[in-house]
Amino acid sequence: MYPNPARSTAYISIPSTMKGSVSLTVRNSNGEIIEENIYAEDATQLITLNLSGHPNGFYKVIMSDKSQEMSYELLNLGEMKYHVMD
């Protein structure tokens, strides 16, 4: 998963050790599910996690197949704000 910390967008790929369909769940710091998807068997694509509109802070990304579960901590720093000086 990269970048970590992220600025509203992070990317994750499904590890080759995961077989069959893979479940991806993203939870906020209160444990609430903010995103949940199931990816087809043998998916190898790069998955985009869009955290824009969600508060800055830590998120737990959980991926699982029939036999294993992996979890990662992701820090969302939010979108960059630019200030134009006169």
Picking from 71, 15, 17, the residue whose alpha carbon sits closest to that of residue 45 is 15
Measured between alpha carbons, how far is residue 57 from residues 21, 36, 71, 73 in Å? 29, 19, 16, 10
Q: Give pLDDT, residue 86.
A: 61
Q: Look at residue 2 and tell me whether its pLDDT is greater than 70.
A: yes
The pLDDT tens digits of the residues spanning 16-54 come to 888 888 999 999 999 999 999 998 876 667 889 999 889
Q: Which residues pair with 83 in a beta bridge?
A: none
The model carries a pTM of 0.83
Q: Are 59 and 73 in contact (CB under 8 A)?
A: yes
Residue 46 or 60, more confident: 60
pLDDT at 85 over 60: yes
List of domains in the chain: 9-76 (2.60.40.3080)
As a whole number, the mean pLDDT across the chain is 88
